[in-house]
Structures are given as structure tokens and as C-alpha cells.
Amino acid sequence: MMNNIESFAGQDILSVSQFDRASLNAIFGVAHDMRVLVERFGSAELLQGKILANLFYEPSTRTSSSFTAAMQRLGGQVISINNVQYSSVSKGESLPDTIRTLECYADVIVIRHPEVGAAATAAQYAEKPVINAGDGVGEHPTQALLDLFTVQEELKQMNGLTVVMVGDLRFGRTVHSLTKLLLKYSVSFVFVSPELLRLPADILEAVEACGHSYRQVEDLHTVIGEADVLYMTRVQRERFTDPAEYDRVKDFFVIDQELMEQAKERMIVMHPLPRVGEISYAMDDDPRAAYFRQMRNGMYIRMALLAALLGKV
């Protein structure tokens, strides 16, 4: 467990379960400083001469670009390895050998891989720090950190908030990870989803075990007025076996300006992006729409992590 910022040096970032409130505070403090640094100066030379290997076994322009920019804004350089030919049965090189090769060249490795546990395997073989940038249905810890950091930066507090999570709560990896992190604070939850796409039992049990207040509802319209944080995700038609059922519920999870009139004046709308219709474009100019600031926060969090893992804060 990392509990102050110095203790991040040389560590791997594999899971949100590595973080407690002390380490979250520590990394958010650095991330905030990174934001100030970028807003005032654009960049720094903290990681000059350092190299990040960006190893993507599946494409993710957004995450890959965010890590690249984070490294570059600190003066470091990036080796991009995209669209790695991957097949567990092919005659290709094993993940451990790829990792050991890359750490001959780089100082820190970011890995995205379709298989759960791949990042942990990479970290086991690497002597250099490894950051999990998504391992299939497993974890994507920097996404959860940037989500929580956004709440902190926007609302200046975590305790006492009502967090409304909306959409596909069953398969939504970002919802699961953010919920786990929020359990460390005193928040109330409202989970809004079709019955089919409710939060998995184990996450719900963790919420209950922490004694947090929560409700599960099916229609956003009835609860939007309570939200301090409205966390939207996409509901995919493909999840439904019965198209009629999809058509019945699909508007329950969409926001527009009219619905936002019922929301508090001081609250934020978040979305991990990409969105596909669940937030209308007209919403973008609403000051409560935080999803692009959230995107920028991703760069600040990754700057903070890169600097901390390389012992430069």
C-alpha cells in the first residue's frame, strides 16, 4: 500500500484496491499541481531523458494519447507500440519476454491488453514500473482515479455527496471501479439502470457492507434533482435480447437541457466518453457538463502517476 507520495516510487499501478484515502490524497495533490503547471507554463522538464513504453495490445486512441501527452508535458519521450499482433495460441513472443525487452529500452511501461491479469503478469516480470491501462473486463485504475479526481476538483469534497450512476451498471468497468473508490468516503448512491443491467451483486454487497445509503431505480427522471454527481454511461442496444424492452427504457438514461432544468445548480455531469447519444450536444455549453474537464484531468492524473512512480515528486 502506498500511503505517501514518496512511497509511489518504483511501484506498479494495477488496481484501485492499491489506494487508500491517504494515497488518493497524495496523488490528487500532485495532480492538482500538474494542472496548475500546465495551465501556467504548458509543460515542465521533470522527466527529461525518461522514456515511456506505451504498449497497446488493443487500440485506444484516447487512453494512449492521454499517457503520451502526460509524458511529453513533463519533458519525457514515448515509444508507441500499437496494434501488437496478439494471439495466445500464435507462435509469437510471450508477454513476459516482450515486457523484459521493453524495459531494456524504457523507464516505465503502460500496458493495455484484452486479457484480465495481463498487467499483473507484466508487473511480475518487469523491474521497471508498470501501469495498467485496461486489462479486458478487469481494471482500468487510471480511469477510476481521474473520475474521482474530477469530483474532488469540481466539488472540493467527497463526503456528503449524492452520486447518481446511470446506464449500463452491469458491464460498465468504470462504474465498478469508481464505486469502489467512493466507498472510502461518506457518499450516498443512486444506481439508475434497466433491471437487466443492474450493478453486480458483489459490488452491491460491498456498498451495503460499508453502510452507505443506496437505491436502485429504473428512470433517471425521478432522481436527477438529488444528484451532486451524475455519472452517465452508455446503454447498448446489443445488451437486450428483446428490442421492445430496449425501446421502452432507452429514454430513461438520456439527458438533455430540458431534463437538466430539474438538476441542482451546483452539480456535475460526468461521462467516461465516448458518448453515443446519451448526452445531447446542446448540453456541452452547460457549465455543469464536466466531461471534457474530466478528460483533461486524465492527463493531470497520469502526469502525477508517471512523476511519482519515477521518483520525481
Binding residues for a copy of itself (CB under 8 A): 41-44, 48-51, 53, 59, 61-62, 65-66, 68-69, 72-73, 75, 77, 79-81, 84-85, 91-93, 96-98, 100-102, 104-107, 273-276, 281, 292, 295-296, 298-299
How remote is the C-alpha of 15 from its chain's centroid? 11
Residue 48 or 222: which CB sits closer to a copy of itself? 48
Shortest Cβ 81–a copy of itself spacing (Å): 6
Shortest Cβ 277–a copy of itself spacing (Å): 10
- SS3 assignment, position 274: coil
Residue 160 or 311: which CB sits closer to a copy of itself? 311
- Exposure of 257 by Cβ count < 10 A (0-12 exposed, 13-18 middle, 19+ buried)? exposed
Residue 208 or 247: which CB sits closer to a copy of itself? 247
Shortest Cβ 268–a copy of itself spacing (Å): 16
Residue 37 or 206: which CB sits closer to a copy of itself? 37
- SS3 assignment, position 230: strand
Q: How many residues does the chain have?
A: 313
Taking the C-alpha atoms of residue 234 and residue 253, their distance in angstroms, rounded to an integer, is: 8
* Element holding 188 (H helix, E strand): strand 188-192
Shortest Cβ 260–a copy of itself spacing (Å): 19
Cα angle 73, 83, 117; round to 5: 85
Q: Are 263 and 221 in contact (CB under 8 A)?
A: no
Residue 211 or 281: which CB sits closer to a copy of itself? 281
- The upper half-sphere exposure of residue 180, i.e. CA atoms within 13 Å in the direction of its Cβ, equals 20
- SS3 assignment, position 76: coil
Q: Are 131 and 142 in contact (CB under 8 A)?
A: yes
Taking the C-alpha atoms of residue 20 and residue 219, their distance in angstroms, rounded to an integer, is: 33
Residue 44 or 249: which CB sits closer to a copy of itself? 44
Shortest Cβ 296–a copy of itself spacing (Å): 4
Shortest Cβ 178–a copy of itself spacing (Å): 19
